[in-house]
Amino acid sequence: MNFFHLSIALTAGLALGGFYFWALWLTVQRLPGARRPWLLSLGSFWVRLLVTLSGFYFVAQGRVENLALCLLGFFFMRRLLVRRCQPGPSVPA
């Protein structure tokens, strides 16, 4: 396995993580105005899950190192987005 294939797996993991958590953020933003919030939540969950798991399957191609790097990219993107989207320190009134 060469460096190029491993970097593709890591990049794919970053992209899958970005998609998953972006779609989750959109879902949470739309929940207050939704007529059927349970349907929006459930539908969003299944679409995010199917896209992400399909991406992992496609990237892994039966190789554990591809899957591991894809998961590493996914969790790195989660950590990056959580850190970036945290509210700042609150100022007492």
| Centroid of chain to Cα 26 | 12
Distance CA 69, CA 67 (A): 6
DSSP state of 63: -
pLDDT in tens, 14-65: 999 999 999 999 999 999 999 999 999 999 999 999 999 999 999 998 899 9
Distance CA 37, CA 27 (A): 9
Predicted confidence (pLDDT) at residue 9 exceeds the cutoff of 80:
yes
Q: For the whole model, what pTM was predicted?
A: 0.85
Domain positions in the chain: 3-85
